Amino acid sequence: GLGIGLVGLPNVGKSTTFNALTKAQNAESANYPFCTIEPNKAVVPVPDKRLDELAKIVNPERLQHSTLDFVDIAGLVKGASKGEGLGNKFLSNIRETEVILEIVRCFEDENITHTEGSIDPIRDIEIIEQELLLADMDSLQKRIDSLKKKAKGNDRDAKAQLEIAEELMEFIADGNPVSSFEKIDEDSFKAMNKDLRLLTSKEIMYGANVDEDGLAEDNEYVKAVKEYAAERNREVIKLCAKVEEEMVDFDEEEKAEMLGSLGVEESGLDQIIRKGFDKLGLMSYFTAGVKEVRAWTIRKGTTAPKAAAVIHNDFEKGFIRAEVISYEDYIACGGEQKAKEAGKNRLEGKEYIVQDGDVMHFRFNV
């Protein structure tokens, strides 16, 4: 469930954005032979300048970034939840993601029709939100029906879940997303939502798709989206999908030049990947060897043995200790040896919570 789902009304630039992500995947795919390529999925490298800094010191043969999964979720249009209902494919695709990236059209172009007849990002956002909410009401009603049957017996868990489900139903029927529901009984809510995975319980980020000239300065549409998002504590990332698609083939220098000429520092796509990674509660630690300098993905709050298991299962079972140098110390000292000489190499045990950017060696029994 650790992925980002892309949604958006037709003609907002969702496919263009997803194409750019797919190109980013393909550019790196030789490095990720373990990833199967699926048409609606892109596994993209997470930009991290720290890897380049480590590589400058270590001079490795290979460099590997952390990756992040994006899933293109087709089928979300106005009225989608009515009639036939949202298809099973739609629901299973969106359920496997934890964060939603909604691409919102913030550019004008007479040649590209808007299905609603005008450019109005807030209206678009509300249409999508409404569809997600209707889908949730549908799933929740089914759950309530089945919980009612179970609660007739003496199933206390079912009774607790039913109570919360009915309360939640009232809440979302008023137009509120599940994410703003005050969970009175967190455990019952989690139990209920575990396989239900209600769509409006997911975090939303907005990708405001602008024309090239809207990148340096916010246009009125972007301003409206930012205001709307701020009230809901959500992130807005401005991008020009067309430019992103073009830039994927560029080398670093060409990319920097392009971004400079457009008046921005970081590409919108890079921001989406970076912030999405963070929103999912993920972080990276590093291993730095001459064969490979590599970032490994873990959840924030992961202990050293569990972090080691990401490299190999045996590392967790036989874990003895970890040798850790923080990224800052590693760079400031100019590498592992000098960091050790400066006393910056820490020995950490099983309880150690790995920190973002830790450069690690694991000691383990085989």
Known binding residues for ATP: 11-16
Q: How far is the CB of 258 from ligand GDP (least distance, A)?
A: 15
CB closer to ligand GDP out of 242 and 344: 242
C-alpha of 16 from chain center:
18
Q: How far is the CB of 53 from ligand GDP (least distance, A)?
A: 33
Backbone angles phi, psi at 235, to 5 degrees: -90, 140
CB closer to ligand GDP out of 241 and 322: 241
CA distance 34 to 331: 31
Q: Which residues make beta-bridge pairs with 238? A: 208
Q: How far is the CB of 107 from ligand GDP (least distance, A)?
A: 4
What is the full DSSP assignment across 127-173?
Answer: HHHHHHHHHHHHHHHHHHHHHHHHHHTT-HHHHHHHHHHHHHHHHHH
Helix (H/G/I), strand (E/B), else coil: 221:
helix
Q: How far is the CB of 8 from ligand GDP (least distance, A)?
A: 5
Please enumerate in sequence order all residues whose Cβ is within 8 A of that of 123, keeping only pairs 6 or more positions apart, or say none: 116
Q: How far is the CB of 86 from ligand GDP (least distance, A)?
A: 17
Asked if 293 and 44 count as a contact pair (C-beta separation under 8 A), the reply is no
DSSP state of 15: H
Question: Residue ranges for the binding site?
Answer: 11-16
CB closer to ligand GDP out of 135 and 222: 222
Q: How far is the CB of 268 from ligand GDP (least distance, A)?
A: 10
Could you give the angle at the alpha carbon of 130 between the alpha carbons of 112 and 9, nearest 5°? 15
Tell me the residue number closest to ligand GDP, measured at CB: 15
Q: How many C-beta neighbours within 10 Å does residue 320 have?
A: 12
Asked if 296 and 359 count as a contact pair (C-beta separation under 8 A), the reply is no
- Amino acid at site 285: Y
Take residue 274 and report the two structure tokens written for it. Answer: 């970076």
Give the interface with ligand GDP as residue ranges (CB under 6 A).
8, 10-16, 107, 109, 112, 209-211, 240-242
The maximal CA–CA distance of the chain, rounded, in angstroms, is 69
CB closer to ligand GDP out of 61 and 217: 217
CB closer to ligand GDP out of 45 and 268: 268
CB closer to ligand GDP out of 138 and 211: 211
Q: How far is the CB of 124 from ligand GDP (least distance, A)?
A: 11
- Left (φ > 0), alpha (ψ -120 to 50) or beta: where does 357 sit? left
CB closer to ligand GDP out of 259 and 295: 259
Please enumerate in sequence order all residues whose Cβ is within 8 A of that of 15, keeping only pairs 6 or more positions apart, or say none: 72
